């Protein structure tokens, strides 16, 4: 065991690395240190880095209690339970520690190692930072416990451990860091530690930092009162410099990351434009998100791709020839993925879903802008549509424990399910996670996404769907603006970003598109024009999965941000 540890460590220090800092990471369902898209992206990026043999190490926190396990009562009330899991089963504690100071106390941090093995056998490591050590007082032991738990003070402490602790642990392990990549602003404190390491030479420190922003609304950016920050943090830099870097009013982590990075990017072209408006004066690039093809492809489709597009996992560009896969075989793979999912849903709920009925999937974090209830805006219309051609809907998604609006959304979906009972089969699945996301994004027929524009920075679940020939039906925001060709790769809902119409009118258009395309384009094609449907499935693979994968994304990061 000890030998194994040492050889792993050799791997960690053998060449300069990209150090990827992320508050959450979704590598596999057994490691519950993620809450949603941001974490899944981090996991997928890490897996692609391993496949592509990019010298890369990820740094995150070890959440002993995870995010939370979601229980839903009969009326859709969310109850949260701490996740029970055993880190020892998946991670190896390293015989090293580092420390940070919080409110004058020394807080010890121990890293745990997780190894991601790429397709060619290359390894990439993830360091999970843990403060739950007997040397720390109880309060400090809990810092790394919950992902996004607690109040501003708790969050601040976590960000100190992640940013400052992360930078220190890499240094003490002897990792030569070529670039520090901040996946969202949570880790931006690392730049202050870096400043110290570079004798406060701003340019030297900036040269080493890359920042990816993910949030298209000002309120979504992490910020702290200076009073709180100065009470809790050790004085890493002088107060005047801190204010210069983080903003006058409060300590804004996004601003810090912007000011301290030599390369900044948004996660889709549209998101870059929105971010430029929000942060005028900064140069912002666009690297559109992707998903890890191999992770998000159902076994039945994997088999097909292995047969017709060998080495697609190393080179998802090979999807460009998806047209050579015979339709019958695609349909068989589809049938298998769908059948498995329907069995799964029927086991979990009493919805009685049917295998030959068009199935719409809607699964994502339950929060206001995602608009889970948008499709229920006109129940009479929905019932009319279902009378002509049947369809069923599967929902899933957790609300953040303090997002009361998000919790209300789930209760409303439950009310709508009751109202439509006997007319349209609808299920809301408990505890959305990676395993469930795999089932839903491969087993549905149509993947619906109707967020409020321009709130969806990118969105990635639709890309997972595309890898399995599930057709996207989405609002024109985020990645879909770059992927949609109407009636070819999927369908658009509502106006594009360049149409000058007011919010109310846009919403009306979105609703009209949602209902009329469902009624006149999607349902008739599914039931009556199977060949056209198959062609769109094929297009999803050859035009969407071809591009919207993390292999393409990571190659761009290497070329534009890391080199
Ligand atoms: C992919 C994924 C998400 C992100 O989905 P979006 O549609 O981008 O919001 C969230 N949660 C889980 C578990 C996922 O697998």
pLDDT of residue 387: 98
36 lines ligand 1 (CB under 6 A): yes
21 neighbors 183 (Cβ within 8 angstroms): yes
pLDDT of residue 1: 42
148 neighbors 35 (Cβ within 8 angstroms): yes
Find the 36 Cα to ligand 1 centroid distance in Å: 5
Cα–Cα distances in angstroms (integers) from residue 372 to residues 39, 200, 401, 483, in the given order: 21, 48, 17, 22
Atom of ligand 1 at shortest distance to CA of 459?
A: 8
pLDDT, tens digit (0-9, with 9 covering 90-100), for 245-267: 999 999 999 999 999 999 999 99
Q: Which residues pair with 448 in a beta bridge?
A: 473
pLDDT of residue 2: 47
* DSSP one-letter code for 486: B
479 lines ligand 1 (CB under 6 A): no
Q: What is the mean pLDDT of each run of 10 residues along the chain (563 residues)?
A: 63 91 98 97 98 97 98 98 97 95 97 95 96 97 96 97 98 96 98 97 98 88 95 95 96 97 98 95 97 98 98 96 97 98 97 98 96 98 98 98 97 98 98 98 98 96 98 98 98 95 95 98 98 98 98 98 97
pLDDT, tens digit (0-9, with 9 covering 90-100), for 410-420: 999 999 999 99
Which domains does the chain possess? 2-290 (3.40.50.2000), 340-541 (3.40.50.2000)
432 lines ligand 1 (CB under 6 A): yes
Cα–Cα distances in angstroms (integers) from residue 353 to residues 338, 356, 366, 390, 422, in the given order: 11, 9, 22, 11, 12
Enter the tokens of residue 478.
């985020």
Enter the tokens of residue 544.
């969407």
37 lines ligand 1 (CB under 6 A): yes
Torsion angle of C-alpha atoms 142, 148, 152, 157, degrees rounded to 10: 40
Ligand 1 mutation target, pool 27, 28, 37, 450, most atoms within 8 A of CB: 37
290 neighbors 463 (Cβ within 8 angstroms): yes
Atom of ligand 1 at shortest distance to CA of 434?
A: 13
Q: Which residues pair with 100 in a beta bridge?
A: 107
Find the 40 Cα to ligand 1 centroid distance in Å: 7
39 lines ligand 1 (CB under 6 A): no
Q: How many residues does the chain have?
A: 563
**Distance of alpha carbon 217 from alpha carbon 202, whole angstroms:** 28
**Distance of alpha carbon 510 from alpha carbon 496, whole angstroms:** 10
Find the 363 Cα to ligand 1 centroid distance in Å: 7
* DSSP one-letter code for 431: S
């Amino acid at each position: 065991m000890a030998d194994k540890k040492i050889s792993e460590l050799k791997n960690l220090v053998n060449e300069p690395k990209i150090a990827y800092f992320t508050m959450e990471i979704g590598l596999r369902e057994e490691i519950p240190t993620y809450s949603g898209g941001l974490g899944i992206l981090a996991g997928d990026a890490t897996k692609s880095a391993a496949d592509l043999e990019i010298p890369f190490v990820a740094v995150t926190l070890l959440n002993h209690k995870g995010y939370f396990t979601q229980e839903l009562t009969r009326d859709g009330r969310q109850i949260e339970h701490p996740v029970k899991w055993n880190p020892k089963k998946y991670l190896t504690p390293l015989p090293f520690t580092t420390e940070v100071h919080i409110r004058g106390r020394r807080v010890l941090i121990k890293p745990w190692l997780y190894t991601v093995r790429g397709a060619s056998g290359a390894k990439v490591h993830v360091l999970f930072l843990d403060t739950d050590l007997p040397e720390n007082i109880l309060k400090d032991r809990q810092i790394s416990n919950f992902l996004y738990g607690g109040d501003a003070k708790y969050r601040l402490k976590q960000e100190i451990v992640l940013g400052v602790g992360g930078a220190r642990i890499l240094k003490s392990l002897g990792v030569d860091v070529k670039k520090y990549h901040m996946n969202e602003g949570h880790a931006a404190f690392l730049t202050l530690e870096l400043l110290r390491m570079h004798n406060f030479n701003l340019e030297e420190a900036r040269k080493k930092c890359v920042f990816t922003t993910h949030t298209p609304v000002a309120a979504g950016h992490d910020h702290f009162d200076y009073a709180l920050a100065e009470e809790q943090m050790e004085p890493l830099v002088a107060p005047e410099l801190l204010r210069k870097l983080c903003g006058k009013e409060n300590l804004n982590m996004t601003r810090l990351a912007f000011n301290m990075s030599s390369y900044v990017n948004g996660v889709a072209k549209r998101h870059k434009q929105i971010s430029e408006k929000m942060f005028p004066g900064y140069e912002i690039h666009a690297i559109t998100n992707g998903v890890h093809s191999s992770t998000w492809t159902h076994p039945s489709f994997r088999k097909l791709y292995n047969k017709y597009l060998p080495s697609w996992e190393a080179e998802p560009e090979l999807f460009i020839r998806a047209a050579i896969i015979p339709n019958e075989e695609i349909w068989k793979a589809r049938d298998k993925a769908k059948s498995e999912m329907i069995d799964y849903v029927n086991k979990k709920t009493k919805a009685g879903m049917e295998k030959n009925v068009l199935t719409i999937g809607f699964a994502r974090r339950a929060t206001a802008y995602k608009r889970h209830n948008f499709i229920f805006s006109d129940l009479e219309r929905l019932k009319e549509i279902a009378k002509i051609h049947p369809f069923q809907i599967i929902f899933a998604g957790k609300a953040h424990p303090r997002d009361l609006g998000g919790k209300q959304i789930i209760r409303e979906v439950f009310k709508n399910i009751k109202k439509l009972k006997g007319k349209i089969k609808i299920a809301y699945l408990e505890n959305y996670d990676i395993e469930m996301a795999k089932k839903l994004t491969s087993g549905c027929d149509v993947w619906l996404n109707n967020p409020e524009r321009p709130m969806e920075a990118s969105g990635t679940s639709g890309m997972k769907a595309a890898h399995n020939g599930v057709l996207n039906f989405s609002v024109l925001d985020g990645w879909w603006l770059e992927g949609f060709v109407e009636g070819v790769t999927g369908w658009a809902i509502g106006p594009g970003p360049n149409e000058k119409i007011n919010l109310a009118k846009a919403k009306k258009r979105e609703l009209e598109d949602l209902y009329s395309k469902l009624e006149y384009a999607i349902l008739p094609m599914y039931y009556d024009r199977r060949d056209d449907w198959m062609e769109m499935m094929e297009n999803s693979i050859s035009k969407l999965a071809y591009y919207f994968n993390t292999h393409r994304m990571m190659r761009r990061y290497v070329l534009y941000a890391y080199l």
